[in-house]
Structures are given as structure tokens and as C-alpha cells.
Structure 1
């Protein structure tokens, strides 16, 4: 498949169920991008409020027991506080980010859901 465009989409794949676009390789890269990449709905930001140590996020799509969530703090929650863990709840389609201690300042974080 090859796609090229001076505006809009160079290539597009869509499926009612299953996979809209699939890339595979024995050696090399199944997906490679040059430039910025956007993952609609699979990423976002949220804030852990000062005085608390966790935040539950509802990303708006189904999560499974094999879902992985990457989290990066975008601010300093205070002291030596860091991300302790992320717990995925496939029943409620939510995930909760836990800090090692209560944040002394409201702290924004970025999240990215894989699979």
C-alpha cells in the first residue's frame, strides 16, 4: 500500500470490527513515522489534586486485562513523590494512577493506552 497527499490523508484504513490498518514485518519496522504523531482518544492528560495521591481516568473506550497504560508526570507533585503504579480496571473501563505520597501541589500527567 502506498499513499500520498499534499493535504488531508495519504492513506486511510477503516474496519467495522477487527483491525483498520495492519503492519507486520519479519525484520524492520511494522510502523515508522517521521514527524509528529497523534493517537486520537488513546492518550490524554489529567490532574492529581493537591492533598491526594491518586486519580481515576475514564478514557472513553474498552480496556482489557492486558491493557497497558504509560504515564508521565508533567509537573512536580512535591518532595520525592513519584508515580507508584497504574491499576487498570477492565470491568469499569477506567485506570487509576497512584503516587507514592499525597501531592503537595496539583500535578498534571500525560497518559497513553496501548492495546
Structure 2
């Protein structure tokens, strides 16, 4: 049975949002890596950049499988799968933000 087109389109918008999020995380990682060495401790700056780019790769890599699993559940009229990496993204971005905030406050 074909799912309601509105649900399919909503699933597609969510897929595109995951890709937008991946692009933003990647840009944030590149920006963090480009921060001058005298602003943050270099190894911390590099670590934060690596975390952001890793989260970017996860978001991009998991976007299509997530879209496919939800589309399958919609077609079979079964419960939607839970967002497996939501906590990883939430806590990962929060950790980078808190560490960056601490470093900004300490550099003032």
C-alpha cells in the first residue's frame, strides 16, 4: 500500500534536513580548524574540529538509511524506527559548544 504522499514528502524533507545539518557541522568543523592558533589551545581546537566533522559524516551517512527505513515502515504501516543517533548528535554538539564557550570565556 502506498503511504499518504504528505508523509512521504515529510520524510524527504527530514532527509534533506539531515543533509543540511551535516553540511553545517562540516562547515563548523572547518571553521574551528581555521581559528588562529593563539585563540584556542591547538590540540583542543583540532579535537573540536574532528568531533564536528565526524558528526557531519555520521549525519550524512545515516540520512539515507534513516529515510529508507522510515519509508519502508510507512509502506508496511508498522511503527517508525527510533532515531538511533539523536543522542549522539545532541550531546556531541552540546559538548563542543560548552567546551568552546569555556575556551572563549577563558581567553577574554
Give the TM-score of the pair, scaled to structure 2. Answer: 0.22
Larger % of strand: which? 1
Higher helix content, 1 or 2: 2
